[in-house]
Amino acid sequence: MIPRYQTVLFVVLLVASAAMGVALWQLRERAHQRLLSSQDSTPTQAPEVAPAEPATIYVANDTDGSLLAQVQQLPLPKDPGARARAVLGKLLDLYAAPDAGHPVPGGANSIAQVFLMQAENLDGATGKGGSGGVSSPTQSPATTDPMQMGPELAIVNLTGAFAAGHPSGIETETLTVMSICGTLHATLPRVTEVRFLVDGQLRATLAGHADLTRTYLATEAMPTEGAR
Amino acid sequence: MRWIKKSIWRRRVVWALAAVFAVAGSGRSSGPIGAKAVAQATPRPVAAAAAPTAPGTRFVVVLDAAHGGDDPGGRLNGQSEEAFTLAMGVRLRSLLAARGIQVVTTRESDSTVDLVRRAEMANHANAQVCLSLHGTESGSGVHLYVSNLAPAQPARIAPWKTAQAAWVTRSLALAGTLNSALLQAGMTVTLGRTSLPGVDSMTCPAVAVELAPERAPGKKVTAELDDPGYQARAAEALAAALVEWRGEAPQP
Ligand SMILES: [Zn+2]
């Protein structure tokens, strides 16, 4: 014979476990709904293909040694480093085209990376820097407010294949360097100084003439000065 | 909290510095160009002649046939740039000698002469003109390049790597004289400024003269670099310019 209190206890426990089962089921449903709804929402990351924007590119011409500003519609990423790489890639694509005025083989893939650093502490080192002029660079943190950041140094890392394939000559090498400096400054006005690496290494010259050991001032690239 | 941030920042600076030095160090120690970079980097003060030469002093031209030896320069139509510059140097020297102008050359054969040595030779010559001769397949006509150092007052002791600064104004004037003579000879001329290691250390009016093939407007080559007639035309125009430069009273 089962005592009465045990029967009552059994019924209470049965009801409680049933209620918990229902509650659990509802929670699971709600969590599932949340998961589905979050999948529907727009991505937090910007789309891979950025919208086309006008970008000023300084295009060199070997015939008269000139740099001509050209406005191109380009998909430009928001990240400054990627943006710099995109415009320089376009510049080198123009040079790699069959009827280029400043023919240089290689194209966009010749820009391995572009690093941006704050240039505030570099003032003393802007001279001809065989001694590796960069004194105390501080990697600019991505989170810093762009309005508060000072002038920047861009380090353009070129591929070895690009340097090896670059035509040799004072004019052609100078024009490549100057057009890269001018284009960087036009796209990222805070870039005031530019240094070059080839395959991540310091290199004496681009193809026997243009000095790659020094820091270039982006403003040097502005229209070629004539003598007298 | 603050000090943690500060120490992170400090560590980041140290790492960035270490990376830069590592890159600089490895770049310097590898390959044949590394040795030259070290030689160029040696800071050596230059005792600059304070004032440009007064009239009546001997007129000396330094001809620097660029490249040579370990550094063949660019590959030109069928020959190396070093052989081309040597040939142009010989041509120009005989034209200048015929006009009674004393010439000092930085090399006479296919030998390695580093940029420091070239500048030392040029500065020792106390010259009124220093021409660094180059050749290229890019562009057309003659490219005249002057150092892009900002003009500076002549100092008794000038830093080695920027010694040309005190002479830039004179160098621009020399480029102007060369330009007019070349234009008169019917050649196309491109004028420019650039960083020229070697020339940047010279204490004389200095111009880099780079000869490119002659091209018609459609970029079609009308005279190759190895065309003796074309070489002679360029050399004659340069010699004529230097005779004119000799005649001009040097303005301080
Ligand atoms: Zn050369």
Tokens of A85: 């790489």
| Residue of chain A whose alpha carbon sits nearest to that of B80 | A168
Tell me which residue in B24, B28, B73 faces A208 most closely, judged by beta carbons: B73
To test the contact with chain B by mutation, choose from A102, A181, A202 the residue with the greatest count of B C-beta atoms within 10 A, namely A202
Q: Cα of B73 to ligand 1 centre, how many Å?
A: 5
Domain that holds residue B235: 2-247
> Nearest CA to B231 among B79, B104, B68, B61?
B79
Query: Looking at the structure, do residues A62 and A36 belong to the same domain, yes or no?
Result: no
Q: How far apart are CA A114 and CA A196, in angstroms?
A: 9
Q: How far is B148 from chain A (nearest CA, A)?
A: 9
Query: Looking at the structure, do residues A82 and A161 belong to the same domain, yes or no?
Result: yes
pLDDT tens, position by position, for chain A (228 residues)? 788 999 999 999 999 999 999 999 999 999 888 877 666 555 455 545 678 899 999 999 999 999 999 999 999 998 999 999 999 999 999 999 998 999 999 999 999 999 999 876 544 444 433 333 333 344 444 444 444 568 899 999 999 999 999 999 999 999 999 999 999 999 999 999 999 999 999 999 999 999 999 999 987 765 443 333
Interchain contact B138–A (C-beta under 8 A):
yes
- B135 contacts on A by Cβ (under 8 Å): 169
Query: Looking at the structure, do residues A66 and A141 belong to the same domain, yes or no?
Result: yes
Domain that holds residue A155: 52-221
> Nearest CA to B28 among A195, A203, A134?
A203
Which neighbouring-strand residues pair with B209? B133, B144
Q: How far apart are CA B198 and CA A86, in angstroms?
A: 35
To test the contact with chain A by mutation, choose from B195, B207, B211 the residue with the greatest count of A C-beta atoms within 10 A, namely B195
Q: How far is B135 from chain A (nearest CA, A)?
A: 7
User: From its phi and psi, is residue A221 left (phi > 0), alpha (psi between -120 and 50) or beta?
Assistant: alpha
Query: Looking at the structure, do residues A106 and A157 belong to the same domain, yes or no?
Result: yes
Is B138 close to A171, i.e. CB distance below 8 A?
yes
Is A168 close to B75, i.e. CB distance below 8 A?
yes
| Residue of chain B whose alpha carbon sits nearest to that of A117 | B16
Is the CB of residue B101 less than 8 Å from the CB of residue B223? Answer: no
Query: Looking at the structure, do residues A7 and A59 belong to the same domain, yes or no?
Result: no
Tell me which residue in A172, A204, A209 faces B139 most closely, judged by beta carbons: A172
Is the CB of residue B182 less than 8 Å from the CB of residue B240? Answer: no
- A62 contacts on B by Cβ (under 8 Å): 138-140
- Specify the residue for token string 């140097």: B89
Query: Looking at the structure, do residues A86 and A179 belong to the same domain, yes or no?
Result: yes
Is A171 close to B23, i.e. CB distance below 8 A?
no
Q: How far apart are CA A141 and CA A61, in angstroms?
A: 37
Query: Looking at the structure, do residues A25 and A115 belong to the same domain, yes or no?
Result: no
> Nearest CA to B60 among B154, B9, B124?
B124
Domain count of chain A? 2
Q: Cα of B67 to ligand 1 centre, how many Å?
A: 6
Confidence of residue B83 (pLDDT cuts 50, 70, 90): very high
Chain A, chain B: beta-carbon pairs less than 8 Å apart: 151
- A216 contacts on B by Cβ (under 8 Å): 195
CB neighbours of residue B46 within 10 Å? 21
Tokens of B180: 């007019």
For residue B68, what is the DSSP state? B
Q: Cα of B111 to ligand 1 centre, how many Å?
A: 15
Interchain contact B215–A (C-beta under 8 A):
yes
pLDDT digits 0-9 by tens, B155-178: 888 888 899 999 999 999 999 999
CATH at residue B91:
3.40.630.40
To test the contact with chain A by mutation, choose from B140, B178, B190 the residue with the greatest count of A C-beta atoms within 10 A, namely B190
Interchain contact B180–A (C-beta under 8 A):
no
Query: Looking at the structure, do residues A100 and A36 belong to the same domain, yes or no?
Result: no
Query: Looking at the structure, do residues A24 and A60 belong to the same domain, yes or no?
Result: no
Is residue A10 in some structural domain? yes
Domain count of chain B? 1
Confidence of residue B249 (pLDDT cuts 50, 70, 90): low
Is residue B252 in some structural domain? no
Query: Looking at the structure, do residues A15 and A82 belong to the same domain, yes or no?
Result: no
According to the 3-state scheme, what is the secondary structure of chain A? CCCHHHHHHHHHHHHHHHHHHHHHHHHHHHHHHHHHHHHHCCCCCCCCCCCEEEEEEEEEECCCCEEEEEEEEEECCCCHHHHHHHHHHHHHHHHHCCCCCCCCCCCHHHEEEEEEEECHHHHHHCCCCCCCCCCCCEECCCCCCHHHCCCEEEEEEECHHHHHHCCCCHHHHHHHHHHHHHHHHHHCCCEEEEEEEECCECCCECCCCCECCCCEEHHHHCCCCCCC
- The verdict on pTM exceeding 0.80 is no
Burial class (CB in 10 A: 0-12, 13-18, 19+), A30: exposed
In total, chain B counts a number of residues equal to: 252
Residue B50 clears pLDDT 60, i.e. is over it: no
- Specify the residue for token string 């030469």: B53
Is residue B162 in some structural domain? yes
